[in-house]
Amino acid sequence: MKNEVLSTLSNNDPRFIEQLAQESAKLTRQYFGRTISLYAPLYLSNFCSSYCTYCGFHSHNRIKRFKLTAEQMDREMQFVAGQGIENILLLTGESYNVTPLSFLKEAVEVAKNYFPSISLEVHPMETAEYKELFETGVDGITVYQETYDRKRYSEVHISGTKANFDFRYGTPQRAAEGGIRTISIGVLLGLSADLAQDLLSLYEHLRFMEKNYPGTEYSVSFPRMREIKGKQFARCDVDDVTFVKIICMTRKLFPRVGINLSTREEPRLRDHILELGITRMSAGSNTSVGGYTLIDEEAQDPQFDVSDHRSVSDVVKMLKGKKFDPVFTDWRRI
């Protein structure tokens, strides 16, 4: 696998890339058809106790801090559900004190009134806590290692719980042991200078999970490093061609694994890359706490800037125009 990763990243021959793209597209259609699952993120809190230099929510950043009440959650969720979204991703900063398990369970209870599928992207927890969340109604957990380069990891995760590399690395395993049905992992492309090693380590992590927890459904994400308030943190440039190669290479190595696409990416690229391996994408996204209904645009401090501002209906129209079948949910609890 190492040789394939290295050779793919270094080969910029247009003929090679075209062949890679065709193989990836064929595998995606074989295992997923022409379906694209849609979801939306909803931020519950931006309080954070971790100092991660590249994140807009980090504990040392002087931003307005918000935490939604149950009533505010209901208002936000009602709005998102009204756009047609049935698969929700609930997010917080990493603060065990401000957003403890009880807060997350309360949010899930509210979300169950609107969404048949609920996922969380929050601070890592223990197996028993994931079991409680599963029993409350959580289907999926998203947790990115950000980078598998331990030295670089320690440089950008200065303090707080996220500074613990090993505890974060073990999160997918604990989530699977807690009964969570779907798990998404990934790396923040460009955060480490050694892109090939980051990808190889991610693939090895995914192989480990597939082998040891075969009953769980997996997906991967490749968000690209973006500047925060004018500051650049990327150690390597992951251009569009490299990004496309990463998507296609991942599909070849993992034909049955879902690949997510964020609104960090420009609409043009998102629309083009759909044919090559993507199975799940966000739509109508807002990355601020209360950003859908509660806070004026000028007052928002997003975790990162959204590049695709299209509404859910516009994304659905685009997908249908490309002969894709938009799927709002493929999972309902009985």
Please compute the mean of the pLDDT values over residues 319-332 and round it to a whole number.
Answer: 86
- Does the pLDDT of residue 112 top 70, yes or no? yes
Report the pLDDT value the prediction gives residue 58, as an integer from 0 to 100: 64
Give the per-residue pLDDT at 308.
79
pLDDT at 333: 59
Residue percentage of the chain with pLDDT more than 90:
76
- Residue 280: phi and psi, rounded to 5, are -150, 135
Mean pLDDT of the chain: 91
pLDDT digit string, tens, across residues 198-218: 999 999 999 999 999 999 999
Does this model's pTM top 0.85?
Answer: yes
**pLDDT given for residue 137 in this prediction:** 98
Helix (H, G, I), strand (E, B) or coil at 85: coil
Strand, helix or coil for residue 56: coil
- The DSSP annotation for 215-242 comes to TSEEEEE-PBP--BTTB---SS---HHH
Mean pLDDT over residues 183-195, rounded? 95
Alpha helices (H) along the chain: 2-10, 14-32, 70-82, 101-111, 127-136, 150-156, 165-169, 171-177, 195-212, 240-253, 267-273, 312-321
Q: What is the pLDDT of residue 300?
A: 52
- Which of the four pLDDT bands, split at 50, 70 and 90, describes residue 66? confident
Arithmetic mean of pLDDT, 101-122: 98
Give per-residue pLDDT as tens, 243-302.
Answer: 999 999 999 999 999 999 987 888 899 899 999 999 999 998 888 899 999 876 444 555
Write down the pLDDT at residue 243.
96
The Cα–Cα gap between 163 and 150 comes to 10
Question: Structural domains in the chain?
Answer: 2-327 (3.20.20.70)
The pLDDT value recorded for residue 231 is 61
pLDDT at 298: 43
Q: Which one, of 89, 88, 98, 87, lies nearest residue 45 by Cα?
A: 98
DSSP character for 303? S
CA trace torsion 34, 223, 102, 75 (10° rounding): -70
For residue 235, is pLDDT > 80? no
Report the pLDDT averaged over residues 169-197. Answer: 97
